[in-house]
Homo-oligomer: A and B are copies of this chain.
């Protein structure tokens, strides 16, 4: 029953070592973005970061911990952006709000599709259990806030708790965007309307209550 520690091993105290940690994280992101999971091994990452593997293992107990750190970092970025977007559309009508949130999701994913896909892939593979509950639930929380802000335009949900609904919206957004990002270069023009349709449809579904 040995659980692998996913936390950082040691906190860097001097400025020098903080730079090292940062270099490692940046290198990890660079490698993932350019070679996806193919080049994602600790030796390579250390090389790209310009440090030795030993240094890497001084701050990350294992490879998984580094992956988790990258995932956390990215989820953080996303959560901040989403929370801001939700706040900015709190007074807009529901449909316009959804449209803008959809736009945001598409932009985020297409900004670096390979990196985003690789992180998603790792996230599924890792023994995260409740680990990323924090970052994921922050995203869910933002969506819940959005639903709250537009409660007057929404029917009550007979099936599924609000939390389930919020999670469903996130999942739907992720697949649809990721599927289109996987193939071509840019986002096809039909993506945004299809996504809005999926989200709005789920929320406003007629005759299914």
A residues sitting closer than 8 Å to B (CB atoms) are 37, 95, 121, 124-125, 158-161, 164-165, 167-168, 171-172, 174-176, 179, 190, 193-194, 196-198, 200-208
Contact = CB atoms under 8 A, between A and B. Distances in A.
| Chain A interface main SS type | helix
A33 to B, nearest CB: 17
Contacts of A197: 159, 202, 205, 208
22 contacts: A95-B208, A121-B121, A121-B125, A159-B193, A159-B194, A159-B197, A160-B193, A161-B190, A165-B194, A167-B179, A168-B176, A171-B175, A174-B175, A175-B175, A196-B208, A197-B202, A200-B205, A200-B207, A200-B208, A201-B202, A201-B204, A202-B202
Contact of A190 (B160, B200, B203, B207): B160
A73 B66 CA distance: 36
Contact of A203 (B159, B200, B201, B203): B201
A97 to B, nearest CB: 13
Contacts of A201: 198, 200-205, 208
A51 to B, nearest CB: 29
Contacts of A124: 121
A172 to B, nearest CB: 6
B204 A206 contact: yes
Most buried by B among A167, A194, A200: A194
Given A172-B176, A200-B207, 7 more contacts: A121-B125, A159-B193, A160-B194, A164-B194, A168-B198, A198-B198, A200-B205
Nearest to A178: B171
A155 to B, nearest CB: 11
Nearest to A194: B160
A23 to B, nearest CB: 28
Contacts of A190: 159-161, 164
A105 B128 CA distance: 26
Nearest to A165: B194
B206 A206 contact: yes
